[in-house]
Structure 1
Amino acid sequence: MLQKLRFVVLCLFLVQSVSAVPARQTVPTAPRPAWVTTVALPADSKIREGDVSNGYAYALRDYQFHLPSQTRYYRYLRRIFTPEGVQQGSEIEVSYDPTYQKLVFHEARIIRDGKAIDKLEPAKFKIMQQESSKESYIYDGSLQALLILEDVRAGDQIEYAFSVVGSNPIYGGKFAHSFYLGTGEPIDVFSLRIISDEELQAKTLNATLPPAVTRENGRVVYQWYQEHVPGTSYDSDAPSWYNPYPTLFVSGYRSWAEVSAWAIGHYTYPARPGKGLTELIARIKGETSEPAERLEKALQFVQDEIRYTGLEAGIGGYKPRNPADVFGQRFGDCKDKSLLLCYILRELDIEAYPALVNTNDRKGIVDWLPSPNAFNHCVVQVRLGGVYWYDPTMSFQGGSYRNRYFGNLGYALVIRPGTTALTKIEPAQESKTQVEEVFTMDDIGGPVQLAVTTQYYGFEADQARGQFAGNNLKETEKSYLNYTAKTYPQVAVNEPLRYEDDRAGNVFTTYESYEVTNFWVAPDSTRPRELEGSVYPQTLRDKLYPPSTKIRTAPFALDFPLHYEHTIRLDLPKPWIVENEEKEITGPGFRFNLATRYFDKSAIFRYTYQTTQDHVAASPTAEFIRKQDQVINALGYSLTYNQRGTVLPERINWLMVLLGLLGAAGTAWGVKWLYYHYDPEPVVVPSGNDRQIGGLLPLFALFLLTRALLHLVHILGTQYFDWHHWETITSETSVGYNPTQATLLVAQLFYYTAMIGFCGVLVLLLVRRRSSVPNLVAAFYGVSIVWVSLETYLMWDMKIFTGPDWGKNIADLFWLVISGAVWVPYFRFSRRAKETFVETLRVPEGHQQIYRPNY
């Protein structure tokens, strides 16, 4: 029964609207009103074909408003430059609301070669029901008068004029309007004339054009006029609130308090709310006495149970319907739903007020003159231990009353007694998306299991909840599968798509499970045993987009607030070489972080991207693009594997190989010098009873050999010779650009190469009981401790490692200090060491050679 009632109400509205369009209705014609003045065109038009789009331009825009008679006169002149202009500019369209307006045409003609061709034929007008917002469930009853001109040619001028008589009675005779003084294309003449019984306020943005004010017959006449208005460049991707065009505001309202008082007169509560609405309020009262719980129940009812449909004809576009009627028909537009919610909350002893906002111009309205036309949407302000904002038209919202998402709408006019100014909105912006992709590999080259878990929080949860509520689950699963197939074409569903909805906490979670059979590929057909597998955070990449207009004068809009986390985990079948690293990029309007971790055959890549504001100013656009490119370059990871069983560098850096060979050559020279030329005099004079190697000395020799082996393993197992790694840290356009790290790697290569040779020669000298050993042991510990300390500090400062790697370096430094504190004094001061390390290659002056090795 209720559904039939809704259908009947909607049909009655549509029938009423259509009834205003009798069959073959024509547009009345008449001479222009007597109060209209003639606006002439300048003789020297400065509009050229290269200045216009679509092949035509408006050379004249003449607006004359007679407020006492509620008549608005419009006159236009189009210049047609090209055949495309003929296609685009040969139709005249005028929209009006038949519930309070009447359209009258005065002229329509083509000017060709200086001669006028009359084209005003009333019978050729077509009157059509417009309903351009039907897809948004808005029905405004407006009509469109269309005149399709015949025989239009390139080079013609089209001149037409008409009047629209009548103004919306909702304004009570008050006037407020805004005008673009210029557009994206040049105009030869812009003229605006307003005749008013009362004085009006005027304000311009992006222009300075004061009116000429005169008086005629006791009325005030305002005139704005300018010639050769240049076109204003507009950059794409600008925020909706950004207006680059010269704009004029004219208003009969003196203050926002006056606009608020106007609204209060129309936002009234019912004296008799009806049985159904009364029972709803009583039920909520009976279910809970907590104001917060009452608020949440009322809000959820209006958001989910009252569908969004607007009948906007005439005053219906501004005056809300009786809350009892809205409750009964179970539909309404933004102002209907807002007033209904406010009424319910007031009956529940919760302070609430409707509030007018602008979803397009948002914070920009703070620079406008007071006017009811500054707004296009209605929301609700609630005061309950704080100030909260709610949009009753947003279905599927979750969370508590404290953290319901509310957009960054800038300013609102709260409809309550005492309002004198716009109120700044502090939006609730708690929203986040977390994606985790887990790739499980049983073997290299085989199929890979992919599990995707996505958690949506706040506004993102509201959006996901609405998407799943409005779509078939199977079709959604198919959409998700095909999205994954963009990266991995050979993918199949393992388990059906499922989701969990924690509406109270406002967390919406989806679970996907796939098998990828083509994860491993052979990129080079000539080397089929070399395999490569790649991962990429595609959902995050989809959130990154550079401005299409890169050289800009306008700000660039950002998706704000955006907090996106994408984690990729690779569970590998065998150990892999993956560097732990942390990268952070901060650019205009955003922050990005990449944390790479490897442990126990698992590689984890955690990407975090956040926007910090809703736009980027024009001046740092180049920096924004450069930083975004760095972020894009940091996304993704490739695994390369040789089926013979080795992990492959993608490309060898031969310069580092050459530096390694040079380091080895230098080390060989140093080893030779230490062995043949460094012979300090022994502390104890050699004798035939000198001690041989024994005690703990073999243990120290084993320590040196182990350390040399570890240094060798480090050189071979680290990306010293990986060309891709070097390109990452040395290219200025790379996210990993770090010249200090590059310098450190070269120093590390030289150090570890030298230490391998040093440990080797020290063991040899120790076995030969050479007198240089005590000094060289002290040098070994001194250099090692200084190097590890410096290396640890630099790597920590550059955030190259954290966690296990940090602990490893600290442990190594600790061991060097402790063992050095034992071995250095032992070799320098113990009697055994003094009596053991006495041999030299030369005979000390004044000493008798007892033993000289034959080498």
Structure 2
Amino acid sequence: MNNPIQIENYKIQKPEIWAGHLEDSELINKIHDSEFARKQIDEGRDYCYFLDKKYYTSNTENSEYVCLAYTLNEPGNLERASVSDVIVEENEVYSIHRISVLRDGVLIDKIPDTKIKVLDSESQSSGGILSSNKKINITIKDLRLYDVLILEDSRFKAFTERDFLRKEFSKYVWVSPDNYWAYGSFKFTFINDREENVAYKKTFFRDDEGNVLEPEIHQLKKGERFVIEEENYINPVDAGREIFPFIDFATEKNWKELSNYIVPIYDEVFRTSSLQDFAPHLIEKLDAIAGIDEKLQFAIEYVQNHIYYVFNADEMNGHKPQEPSVTYENKQGDCKAKCVLLKVILDYIGVDSSIVLVNFQTDYYIKYYLPSLLSFNHVVVKIDYKGQEYFVDATVRDEFGLIENRSFIYFMYYLEVKPDQELMERKSYRFPYYCIDEKVDFNVQNSTGRLKVTTTYKGSRANAMRRYFKSTNKREIVDSWNNFLFYALNYSNDRNGTDVRNVFKDAAIDIVSDDKKLNEFKIYYTAAVENPYYTDPQNNRFLMYFDRNVIKASARDYMHKDLPFWHNFDSEKYEISLFTDQKIDTEEKYTVQESTISNPYFEYKSRKKISKNGAVVLIENNPLVNLEIPQDQFEIFREDHHTVANSNFGLGIDIIEPGLMNMIKFNFKKRFK
């Protein structure tokens, strides 16, 4: 083997006693071609003869053991098996117990053919993400198609003082296996060797008809095991429309107990921190600002933009925040550090705030999980100001505005760092402003159109658009608008393949204004269009402007059985004016059509003004966001979005061609259609 010296991040040794041990003869006996196995292999999929997984937890360590044997009948799986990476945390050891193949009935030890490299896993360090993780690269020579690969390994994580939370609490989520694989034998074992009880909750398991069963909660005392075992198993979950069954294991605590555990850790930091002592220059700047609204804006933007965000993965394993004096002095810190500094500043200016624990990535599942501090991976600041609740992520940058105009963060569940707290569900939200307010003016004279688009972005949209204009080449920005307008004006249906730069002449886009208090970003686009009318196959001419961003395809196409639809659309307002020097059909059905939708989750309205040479439509969409649409109300919600898509997301006008014969033809068509 090419590794004469053992590296501390990995070992080659026998499994621990709790994991058990298989002799070679037992291993070979477990690999047999049953009728079930032959059927899967004949269908062209790889097959796992057995998978035995064990998870062991105590107050000093977490360990995970896996032993499996699977076919290498597909070139893709052969390639992945030949070279693989294992990521280990600080103080985590990866142990290899067995790497073998069964080839033509003969068991061959492949450890001598295995090359192992230990690399730093620091690919994101330039972005402020620091980690002591190591990447163990494993290369196995001479694996062949139709081998059966046998892997037996484990991971051992010893807790350090930094892992005080893991010492105190256990957290593990088992998820049912990928439904690509068929398993001759599938077994999972959870072993509790902690002094405290570990509860486990079975969620999204189904009966024989596929109906979701009610969750089950049970407990494991010290020394007890939980086992799931299946034979000839294929996970029946419809991965596109169903949630995989999972089991949440967590030290048996309630939310109040967890809240009261975490509060003293933060209180200790706040008791020893005084802004006057460590940040006198910052206080001078705060005191020089007259209004409380402006002080609050300055405080948020100071921490977001002047304190560099450093994500230290090892520190995030616990919940002890860095002292704000250190954060201020070093001008850097993780989410906990930045939020604590922000709260100390807010305390000084007299704004009520608190630290809250969140998990944006698995927010939906927190309501199904057992109570655990280890369910959270991020910290934000909750601000109570003038009777309203605001949540501020101190780790973002380049965000602006008074508190009511800043970005809205979408999430549902949080735990506030205060005594005796329960898991809280965030309130739904209705924007007090339009995130997009756009005015489109397209005027055609003598077969040349002049297009003017004025757009005001606010809140999150303003921040995003401000960043986009700052980081993107001007020509690229203009091309992006041209491409959008090419579809909005329906030119994609009568001149597809045309270079959009030849359609929109002298196109230009400019920033009109950028108000950092209102957080409003306003732009102005202009272009000339020499062939402004959309012409159908019968040579009928139209002026059309339909903004497909108004159609919420994600709502119309949503089909998931278990996940309620998450409503997070922006508020929008559009005024679209289309005018020409030609006569138009002032009674055409879709030209005059208006809509009013009063759904519990969004108010939608389109109103029109029609004249002999053009029309104006005003569209307003006011959603109620940051909530899940209950499944028994979703179909009505979907149908209302279909109504929006039924020519209620823009404006089209039909041109009446000049001349006596064209007028006779038009009147005949109107009478008999």
Same fold (TM over 0.5): yes
SS of equivalent to 2:176: coil
Match of residue 568 from structure 1: 576
Residue type at the aligned position of 1:463: A
The question of whether the paired residues in 1 share the 8 Å contact of 2:583 and 2:657 is answered with: no
2:340: which partner in 1? 339
* Residue in 2 that maps onto 1:259: 258
| Counterpart residue type for residue 391 of structure 1 | D
Letter of the 1:277 counterpart:
A
Task: Point out the structure with the larger strand share.
Answer: 2
Q: Does 1:31 align with 2:29?
A: no
Q: Which residue of 2 aligns with 1:87?
A: 79
- Write the distance in 1 (CA, Å) between the matches of 2:246 and 2:193: 20
**Is 1:442 matched up with 2:439?**
no
- Distance, in Å, in 2 between the alignment partners of 1:312 and 1:637 is 54
Change (3 A) 1:152 1:134: farther
Q: Does the CA contact (< 8 Å) of 1:537 and 1:568 recur in 2?
A: no
Q: 1:93 and 1:335, CA in 2 relative to 1: closer, same or farther beyond 3 A?
A: same
1:506-548: CA deviation from partner (whole Å, max 9, x where unpaired): 3322111111122136545xx8xx5523423235257434676
Which protein is richer in helix relative to its size? 1
* Cα distance in structure 1, aligned partners of 2:149 and 2:43: 15
| C-alpha separation in 2, matches of 1:514 and 1:429 | 35
SS of match in other structure, 1:283: helix
CA deviation map 1:663-701 (0-9, x unaligned): xxxxxxxxxxxxxxxxxxxxxxxxxxxxxxxxxxxxxxx
Q: Give the Cα–Cα distance (whole angstroms) in 1 for the partners of residues 217 and 645 of structure 2.
A: 49
Give how far 1:364 is off.
3.0
Decide whether the 8 Å contact of 1:212 with 1:223 is kept in 2: no
Does the residue aligned with 1:287 lie in a helix, a strand or coil?
Answer: coil
Question: Where do 1:697-776 residues align within 5 Å?
Answer: 716=667, 719-721=670-672, 723=673
Q: Please, which of 205, 219, 224 is the counterpart of residue 221 of structure 1?
A: 224
Q: Following TM superposition, by how much is the alpha carbon of 1:105 offset from its aligned partner in structure 2, in angstroms?
A: 2.0
Show the counterpart of 1:146.
137
Asked if structure 2 preserves the Cα contact closer than 8 Å seen for 1:110 and 1:156, the reply is yes
**Cα contact 1:56–1:89 (8 A) shared by 2:** no
Q: Which of 110, 121, 126 does residue 101 from structure 2 map onto?
A: 110
Matches within 5 A, 1:284-683: 284-288=286-290, 291-314=292-315, 318-386=319-387, 387-402=389-404, 404-416=406-418, 418-426=419-427, 428-430=429-431, 432-443=435-446, 446-485=447-486, 488=491, 489=500, 490-520=503-533, 523-524=536-537, 530=539, 532-540=541-549, 543-545=552-554, 550=559, 552-555=560-563, 557-558=565-566, 560-579=568-587, 580-584=592-596, 592-599=604-611, 601-609=613-621, 611-612=623-624, 628-634=641-647, 635=649, 637-644=652-659
Matched, 1:179 2:188: no
Offset at residue 473 of structure 1 (A): 4.4
Contact persistence 1:391–1:406 (CA under 8 A): no
Partner residue, 1:246: 245
Task: Report the TM-score, using the length of structure 1 for normalisation.
Answer: 0.64
1:512 aligned partner, one-letter code: Y
Aligned to 1:9: none
Specify which of 64, 69, 72 is matched with residue 63 of structure 2: 72
Deviation at 1:261, TM superposition (A): 3.9
Where 1:60 maps in the other structure, the secondary structure is strand
State the match for 2:209 in structure 1: none
CA distance in 1, matches of 2:368, 2:57: 26
The Cα shift of 1:618 comes to 6.5
The match for 2:285 is 283
Q: Deviations over 1:114-158 (max 9, x none)?
A: 543222349611222234655864232311212233314235243
1:233 maps to what in 2? Answer: 237
**Structure 1 419/138 Cα, relative in aligned 2: closer, same or farther at 3 Å?**
farther
Identify the residue that residue 164 of structure 1 maps to in structure 2.
156
Where does the alignment leave 5 or more consecutive residues of structure 2 unmatched? Answer: 206-214, 492-499
Instruction: Pick closer, same or farther for the CA change 1:517–1:154 going to 2, 3 Å.
Output: farther
Structure 1 residue 179 displacement after superposition = 2.3
- Measure the CA separation in 2 of the matches of 1:628 and 1:53: 42
Relative to 1, partners in 2 of residues 1:266 and 1:122: Cα closer, same or farther, differing over 3 Å? farther
Instruction: Note if contact 2:172-2:249 (Cα within 8 Å) is conserved in structure 1.
Output: yes
Deviation, 1:166, is 1.3
1:233 aligned partner, one-letter code: V
Counterparts of 2:167 and 2:43 in 1: how far apart (Å)?
39
Moved more, 355-364 or 539-548: 539-548
Q: Which residue of 2 aligns with 1:190?
A: 187
| Structure 2 residue aligned with 1:685 | none
State the shift of 1:454 in Å: 1.4
Asked whether the 8 Å contact 2:199–2:218 carries over to 1, the reply is no
**After superposition, what is the alpha-carbon deviation per residue over 1:435-459, rounded to whole angstroms, capped at 9, x for unaligned?**
221111112xx22000011122333
**Partner Cα distance (1:593, 1:58) in 2:** 59
In the alignment, the residues of structure 1 paired with residue 130 and residue 44 of structure 2 have an alpha-carbon distance, to the nearest angstrom, of 32
Secondary structure at 1:497's aligned position in 2?
A: strand
Distance 2:89 2:255 in 1: 27
Which whole-Å CA distance do the structure 2 matches of 1:159 and 1:589 have between them?
Answer: 52
Larger relative contact order (Cα-Cα within 8 Å, sequence gap ≥ 6): 2
C-alpha contact 1:56 1:82 (8 A) present in aligned 2: no
For residues 304 and 409 of structure 1, do their structure 2 counterparts lie closer, same or farther at Cα, with a shift above 3 Å needed? same
CA deviation after TM superposition for structure 1 residue 103, in Å: 2.3
**Contact 2:583/2:613, CA 8 A, preserved across alignment:** yes
Inter-CA distance 330–121: structure 2 relative to 1 (3 Å threshold): farther
Given the superposition, is the C-alpha separation of residues 59 and 292 from structure 1 closer, same or farther in structure 2, using an over 3 Å criterion? farther
Residues of 2 paired with 1:25 and 1:38: CA distance?
23
Q: Within 2, Cα distance between the matches of 1:88 and 1:499?
A: 53
- Superposed, 1:33-52 pairs within 5 Å as 33-37=16-20, 49=40
Separation (CA, whole Å) in 1 of partners of 2:474 and 2:662 = 42
Q: Give the secondary structure class of the aligned counterpart of 2:187.
A: strand
Two-structure CA RMSD over aligned residues (Å):
3.9
d(CA) in 1 for partners of 2:190 and 2:368? Answer: 23
CA shift for structure 1 position 202: 2.1
Cα distance per residue 1:396-433 (max 9 Å; x no partner): 434432454432311211113x1331122226552532
Find the partner of 2:198 among 194, 197, 200: 200
Q: What SS class does the counterpart of residue 35 from structure 1 fall into?
A: helix
* 1:76 to 1:314, Cα distance in 2 relative to 1, 3 A: farther
CA distance in 1, matches of 2:543, 2:78: 53
| Structure 1, gaps ≥5 residues long | 1-21, 653-715, 724-855
Q: Conserved in 2, the CA contact under 8 Å of 1:408 and 1:427? A: no
The structure 1 residue matched to 2:92, chosen from 78, 98, 101, is 101
Shift of 1:254: 1.3
- Decide whether the 8 Å contact of 2:357 with 2:415 is kept in 1: yes
